[in-house]
Amino acid sequence: MSVTSRGSRRLEEARDALIARVEKSITADLTTVVTRYFDLVAPEDLVGTEVRDLEGLIKSHVSLGQSRLPGISKVQTLTPALDTHGWQSLHSVVQIVTDDMPFLVDSVSAEITQQGRAIRVVIHPRFWVKRDELGELIEILNRDVLPGAQTPDGAIQESWISVEIERESDSSDLRQI
């Protein structure tokens, strides 16, 4: 086995251990979200991050997605700080909850890049969710999103995108993003 393979395996094991720690620390209603949230994230983008900060990232995103009507995207930008948000990051974060459709990540990345911002990490879980008639989140289903899959009763498919960008401390610049 090559050194690179061992190194990659160790990184994946460290990522999996970190995700398991987040699952243990987060509220029971969000444990199924954790693995799906970080499923496609490269190990090197997570390893070294505090459990508290990954938990905060997820809770912030779920909070954004608590209320959303189909056809309307929810977007927030923040530079998380421990004293104000309960978690922190060396970067600013753009979070989006929207209807799932093709080329979303490409479109979001292109817009952020066009604004002259460097992208560090993109996290893009897709979820089947159930919402009431007012758009309030009832449940994030513990189910894979597969092309052509039959829609679970009363569920819609959503894209949840989180993009880490260079740190921005100016609140008007955060709003502009």
pLDDT higher than 80, residue 52: yes
- If one counts the domains in the chain, the total is 1
Axis-axis angle for helices 51-64, 3-25 (nearest 10): 60
Sign of CA dihedral 38, 41, 43, 49: negative
Q: Please identify which residue in the block is written with the tokens 């070294």.
A: 48
Taking only the tens place, the pLDDT of each residue in 145-172 is: 777 778 889 999 999 999 999 999 888 8
Taking only the tens place, the pLDDT of each residue in 63-92 is: 999 999 999 999 999 999 999 999 999 999
Is 67 exposed, middle or buried, given 0-12, 13-18 or 19+ CB atoms closer than 10 A?
A: middle
Structural domain boundaries, residue 151 = 3-176
- Whether this prediction's pTM lies above 0.85 is answered by yes
| Under 8 Å between Cβ of 93 and 166 | no
